[in-house]
């Protein structure tokens, strides 16, 4: 199961409205990054036929079947401070993450 915090839901809602995207948020993983796998995060207009579609209030999240096992248990958060504003990935499947938090090893 993948979870989005209230702050992540609200920020995603803002991004979808700002970009006039009628779809949802695509989460996934791909090879690369300094730790071996990197997170994929983008707005997408519609799910692909084999995607899992998760709903959080009025926000839809699309996850492809190859990425889902790597993200199962993930909590996606959004944080704002004086220093930065960022989505934060809390992934229990990650054995090791890089310092930027955008790539990981399983």
What are the tens digits of pLDDT across the range 44-68?
Answer: 999 999 999 999 999 999 999 999 9
- Residue 94 is predicted with a pLDDT of 78
Which residue range(s) make up the domain with 15?
Answer: 3-105
The angle at the Cα of 23, spanning 19 to 62, to the nearest 5 degrees, equals 120
| Residue from 26, 52, 48 nearest 39 by CA | 26
| Total of domains in the chain | 1
By CB atoms closer than 10 A (0-12, 13-18, 19+), residue 55 is exposed
CATH number at residue 32: 2.60.300.12
Q: Which of 20-29, 46-55, 79-88 has the lowest mean pLDDT?
A: 79-88
Please determine, for residue 36, whether its predicted confidence score (pLDDT) is greater than 90: no
| pTM score | 0.86
């Amino acid at each position: 199961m993948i979870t989005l915090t209230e702050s992540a839901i609200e920020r995603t809602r803002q991004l979808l409205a700002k970009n006039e995207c009628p779809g949802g948020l695509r989460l996934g993983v791909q090879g690369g990054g300094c730790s071996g796998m990197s997170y994929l995060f983008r707005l997408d207009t519609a799910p692909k036929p084999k995607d899992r579609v998760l709903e959080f209030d009025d926000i839809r999240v699309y996850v492809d079947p190859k990425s889902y096992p790597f993200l199962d248990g993930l909590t996606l958060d959004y944080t704002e401070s004086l220093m930065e504003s960022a989505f934060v990935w809390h992934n229990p499947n990650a054995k090791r993450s890089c310092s930027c938090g955008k790539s990981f090893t399983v």
